[in-house]
């Protein structure tokens, strides 16, 4: 089953069970975000990727510029461990990690969620790529990805146990648009995927194709 099929299946099950007011609030938020044009502010292919140094789940720090010394880097922004769509995406990335590494690339995933709130399945030793904490979404902001959760969704998120001021530990209701970038060794973005609908994510096959193109160019 493709990642899109998994995401769509979860969405269909959730929407079928969700209360009418929850569905209505989500649809209003989707429409407002679509009308905002915020996706046009996000960094895109050809732009230079801002450097960052962020803490990981295991107590270390990871720097983009240092990783780039060894090869291209896949940088994936996600909302948090609490987000089921994000967990599906992280699992799909992990399933393709060996092929990513074989193409000379490394992978990091970035979220504003507190490290202490890591989902046990994601934070386990089974995840062998770096999961980084972006406090107050400062790095996401540098990439043009930050959005503020609408007021009518805040109560709903809190009811689900996802009150962002507590989950992220920064007092705000900000989230990154889920996005995936392939950053070449010169810090230039070779491929970007940004979607205002957080239920849509980049298929691993498209990511592998972009990395394959970079590897072929280096060999030429």
Secondary structure class of 189 (helix, strand, coil): strand
Q: pTM of the entire structure?
A: 0.93
pLDDT at res. 122: 54
CB 29 within 8 A of CB 150: yes
For residue range 50-108, list pLDDT tens digits in order: 999 999 988 899 999 999 999 999 999 999 999 999 999 999 999 999 999 999 999 99
> Any idea what DSSP says for residue 129?
S
Higher pLDDT residue, 39 or 88? 88
CA distance 207 to 211: 6
Q: Which domains does the chain have, with CATH numbers?
A: 3-219 (3.40.30.10)
For residue range 109-158, list pLDDT tens digits in order: 999 999 875 555 554 544 678 999 999 999 999 999 999 999 989 999 99
The DSSP string of 82-126 is T-HHHHHHHHHHHHTHHHHHHTT-EEEEEE-S-GGG--HHHHSTT
For residue range 161-170, list pLDDT tens digits in order: 999 999 999 9
């Amino acid at each position: 089953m493709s990642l899109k099929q998994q995401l769509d299946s979860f969405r269909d099950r959730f929407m079928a069970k969700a209360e009418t007011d929850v569905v209505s609030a989500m649809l209003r938020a989707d429409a407002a975000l679509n009308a905002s044009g915020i996706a046009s502010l996000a960094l895109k292919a050809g732009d230079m990727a801002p450097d960052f140094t962020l803490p990981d789940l295991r107590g270390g720090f990871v720097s983009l510029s240092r990783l780039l010394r060894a090869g291209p880097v896949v940088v994936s922004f996600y909302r948090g461990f609490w987000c089921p769509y994000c967990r599906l995406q992280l699992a799909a990335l992990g399933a393709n990690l060996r092929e990513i590494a074989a193409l000379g690339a490394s992978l990091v995933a970035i979220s504003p969620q507190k490290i202490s709130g890591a989902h046990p399945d994601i934070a386990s030793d089974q995840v062998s790529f770096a999961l980084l904490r972006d406090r107050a979404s400062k790095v996401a902001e540098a990439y043009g990805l930050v959005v503020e959760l609408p007021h009518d969704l805040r109560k709903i998120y809190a009811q689900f146990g996802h009150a962002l001021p507590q989950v992220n530990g920064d007092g705000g209701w900000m989230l990154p648009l889920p996005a995936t970038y392939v950053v070449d060794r010169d810090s230039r973005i070779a491929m970007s995927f940004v979607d205002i609908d957080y239920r849509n994510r980049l298929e691993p096959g498209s990511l592998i194709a972009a990395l394959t193109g970079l590897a072929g160019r280096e060999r030429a």
